[in-house]
Amino acid sequence: MENLDVMVLRTLRDWRQSGKRALLATVVRTWGSSPRPVGSIMALCEDGAVVGSVSGGCIEDDLIYQYTQAYAAAQSTADATTNPPENTETAPKTIPSGPPAFVKYGVSADEAHRFGLPCGGTLELLLEFDPSAADLARLVTSLEAGQLMQRQVSLKDGTVTLTMSAAPAELSVSANDLVNTFGPEYRMLLIGAGQLTEYLATMALFSGFAVTVCDPREEYRSAWSVPGAKVLSEMPDDVVTAFKPDRRSCVIALTHDPKLDDLALLEALETDAFYIGAIGSRRNNDARHQRMAEHFDLSEAKLQRLRGPIGIYIGSKTPSEIAVSVMAEVLAVKNGVELPRDMAVAQAKNERAVLHNDPGELVCGIKR
């Protein structure tokens, strides 16, 4: 599964290029709890097709009802085009032309309940009617090329200005325009093509990451069975260099083989990757840090960026459960969530041991 924003914009581009009317809805403000964060987008085609999301589904249903009645009526009535309704005030609605418009949902308790919003939740959308196909094509092309793009929409007439951006930024709305930053896909580079990698790659793809898997070992590559992930056979350190990790990239070593993992991790630590980690126990992680410090003169500051043992502690034992814990940690770091480590992990282990009446698992406050 590709990045959701890119998928929405690409689909909207295709609709507009084919001559279909469509709108782009963006969550611009929220009050209280809301099902989707500010900056979330969805596109609606005149035929009722929807891509993306601004709520749990009820608001999408309302937008479909509000703006696709005319299309539905035309499809169900053979002479709809030759005999339009005499009373235009009651004519079925369609996607209009004109400047963008704001719409709020969940202002009252009854409306919040109707649209499935959490208690006290209110959100405001900006609706852009028939966005320019040429502007959408340029934006999608830039995103597919790995560029970070700022999209500025004039609230007066819907005119769009596209510029390259140096850094991600939160959506902003003023009296004159809306500014939203769209970045390239989040990327994940996995070293090793074993069973754990297959589970992790699958979860990453469904989470919107573009996944690349590197393994020079033919016996592992030949058994790979996850469609959608790019598989490379070059040496991992060369792949990391060519991959050029940025602030939307993560690099995870999963082979347990220092000859493959260490050099790749060294290259990754020279980049802006938001997450760099390697599989293994705390003991293996300590040994890896020692090797890198002694043989490669790596500074303590850089070593602190190397995560290990990776994953949130959930008592995982199987490859699928380990992949869940690792993917959860990657997403938490991506979303800026602080994670409990060390003593908190040891406490969780001890509590689990007590719960299962297994004193052999107690770790005396230290994660083993």
**DSSP character string of 345-364:** HHHHHHHHHHHTT-GGG--T
- Of 59, 80, 58, the residue nearest 70 (C-alpha): 80
Higher pLDDT, 178 or 56: 178
In the chain, the percentage of residues whose pLDDT exceeds 90 is 52
The pLDDT assigned to 80 comes to: 45
Higher pLDDT, 91 or 168: 168
Q: What's the mean per-residue pLDDT of the chain?
A: 84
Cβ pair 221, 348 in contact under 8 A: no
- Residue 114 has a CB neighbour count (10 Å cut-off) of 14
Is this model's pTM higher than 0.75 or not?
no
Question: Tell me: the pLDDT tens digits for 292-320?
Answer: 888 777 778 888 899 989 999 888 889 99
Of 28-42, 252-266, 347-361, the range with the highest mean pLDDT is 252-266
Residue 244 in this model has a pLDDT that exceeds 60: yes
Mapping DSSP to helix (H, G, I), strand (E, B) and coil, where does residue 108 land?
coil
Give residue 168's pLDDT band: very low, low, confident or very high (50, 70, 90).
confident
Question: Tell me: the pLDDT tens digits for 270-299?
Answer: 999 999 999 998 899 899 988 888 877 777
Q: Which amino acid is at 312?
A: I
Question: Tell me: the pLDDT tens digits for 66-110?
Answer: 898 755 666 555 444 445 444 444 455 788 889 999 998 875 656
Residue 136 in this model has a pLDDT that exceeds 90: yes
Mean pLDDT to the nearest integer, 174-184: 92
- Of 67, 14, 69, 3, the residue nearest 41 (C-alpha): 3
Mapping DSSP to helix (H, G, I), strand (E, B) and coil, where does residue 193 land?
coil
| The CATH fold of domain 186-337 | Rossmann fold (3.40.50)
Q: Domain residues of the chain, as ranges?
A: 4-139, 186-337, 339-368
Give the long-range contacts of residues 175-179, CB within 8 A, separation 24 or more: 177/152, 177/153, 178/26, 178/28, 178/100, 178/126, 178/152, 178/153, 179/150, 179/151, 179/152, 179/153
Higher pLDDT, 296 or 62: 62
Of 85-94, 112-121, 203-212, 292-301, the range with the highest mean pLDDT is 203-212
Cβ pair 48, 69 in contact under 8 A: no
Give residue 186's pLDDT band: very low, low, confident or very high (50, 70, 90).
confident
Q: Which residues partner with 250 through β-bridges?
A: 188, 275
The pLDDT assigned to 72 comes to: 60
The pLDDT assigned to 1 comes to: 42
